[in-house]
Amino acid sequence: MCKIKAKRLKMNEFEKDLVDALKDIVKAGSWQCVGDKSQFKSLCTKFYSDDGEHIVLVHTEDDKFWAMDSSCPHEGGPLEEGDIEDLGNGKLALICPWHHFDFSLETGSSSSGLQNQVYEVQVVDGKVYINTPNALSLCPITETKMRHEAVLPTELSSSENTLSFWATRILHTPDPNEKVALTKLVQENWTSGRITETGEALPPAQPCRKETLTVVEPGKIKRGKGGTLASRVALLHSLANIEQWAMDLSWDIIARFSTFRLSSGEPLPPQFFHDFVKVAGDEAKHYQLLEQRIVELGSFFGALPVHNGLWQSAAETSHDLLSRLAVVHMVHEARGLDVHPQTLSRFAAQGDYSSVKVLEVIYSDEITHVAAGLRWFTYICCKEGRDTLKTFHDLVKLHFKGFLKPPFNREGRETAGMTEEWYIPLVKPSSAQTGS
């Protein structure tokens, strides 16, 4: 009897040592504790990851746990909504609910030839651990929730606390969510009177971007047509990239042309800077709405390549305010109005009404942005005695490659004040009648 007790005691000590050893491994490795085993009674539980690679935890009938990426590598189907099937060899697979691709719980391989990422799972002291270096949550994680709120330092001298100083500071900020936070804060402090001077500062040749972004030529971006989740994410990702550039362009025009003088020697009126601070605030709002929607759809900004085509036009017109207004704010932004109806219809056709609401907000604001560009282009031309339409056409032909291409959103353009006489003369003659 004593021998049996001693054996049991040694076994208990061995089990305790094993548990302690597992705890040490958990602490030393990249294991995330996701909760008590008892709370995972459902077949599948989705966990949101801070890098956008979300994970589905599977609890099978034999009381085993498995984990893999929750997005099907085919077209992004939600694997957390799938079923478990026995492939006939005792091996279990998670089945994508969209196109019925099977993924082995053990290896992530599929009979289709696709491969999904799997993660080790351990249960220690009744708690479930997943081996991944990224933070996991049962609720969506966004960078905007994790970032620190930006504040205006109180020790700045009066010469530093100017609109141009902060515009340049924002242009030097690589993280888009920090850029958004600073933009909103500076807008608030400008409109409330905490910042009163336009000031003078030298903006960078190009705004800073996160090193993790993959930048390619504009023509190499694949946006898709919105018929699948993956292509809708690609469209939203492309729009978010444009909105980030548009936010920077608003701050750049403020800083770069803060000392601009009319031919008479007059400076720009304060309302010019009010208008473009508002534009910057709108673009920040647009980026944030798009970024949040991308996260809701299971991805994140930076997951796909981006381009800097909009900034190429900014660099081309950095020497002349009228050229900048004409090309960036009256050609490119107006083109955004043109593509809106088709983009909206693609998302509506897929029943993605949350994205539709975001696009409608952006569209309403963008009309006012085109109007702002046109208003200040007209203002400068009138003050300097220039022929407004001729000047616009000449500058676009000089700095914009090729012709303007229909179809045009005549209603949206006219709401912004841009009637056909502005853009039809810039269309290739054979296609001038094809606009809608």
pLDDT digits (tens, 9 = 90+) for 66-91: 999 998 887 677 898 889 998 777 78
Lowest mean pLDDT among 125-134, 267-276, 312-321, 339-348: 125-134
pLDDT digits (tens, 9 = 90+) for 164-202: 999 999 999 999 999 999 999 999 999 999 999 999 999
Q: Averaged over 395-405, what is the pLDDT?
A: 93
pLDDT digits (tens, 9 = 90+) for 220-261: 666 666 678 888 999 999 999 999 999 999 999 999 999 999
Query: Closest Cα partner for 210 from 300, 316, 76, 332?
Result: 300
pLDDT digits (tens, 9 = 90+) for 17-29: 655 555 555 445 5
CB-CB contact of 275 with 186 (8 Å): no
If one compares 151 and 415, the residue with the highest pLDDT of the two is 415
Confidence label for 144 from pLDDT (cuts 50, 70 and 90): very low
What pLDDT sits at residue 67? 95
pLDDT digits (tens, 9 = 90+) for 355-379: 999 999 999 999 999 999 999 999 9
What pLDDT sits at residue 415? 97
CB-CB contact of 315 with 205 (8 Å): yes
What pLDDT sits at residue 141? 53
Q: Averaging pLDDT over each range in 92-106, 145-159, 181-195, which range is the top one?
A: 181-195
Percent of the chain with pLDDT over 90: 62
What pLDDT sits at residue 5? 52
CA 184 to CA 19: how far, in whole Å? 50
CA 374 to CA 396: how far, in whole Å? 13
Residue 121 in this model has a pLDDT that exceeds 90:
yes
Query: Closest Cα partner for 87 from 63, 103, 99, 67?
Result: 103
What pLDDT sits at residue 100? 85
**Tokens standing for 258?**
């803060």
Q: What is the pTM of this model?
A: 0.66
Q: Which domains does the chain have, with CATH numbers?
A: 28-137 (2.102.10.10), 143-431 (no CATH)
Q: Averaged over 280-303, what is the pLDDT?
A: 95
Q: What share of the chain is helix, strand, coil (3-state, %, to 5)?
A: 50, 15, 35
What pLDDT sits at residue 143? 42
What pLDDT sits at residue 6? 53
> For all residues of the chain together, what is the average pLDDT?
86
What pLDDT sits at residue 146? 39
CA 408 to CA 54: how far, in whole Å? 40
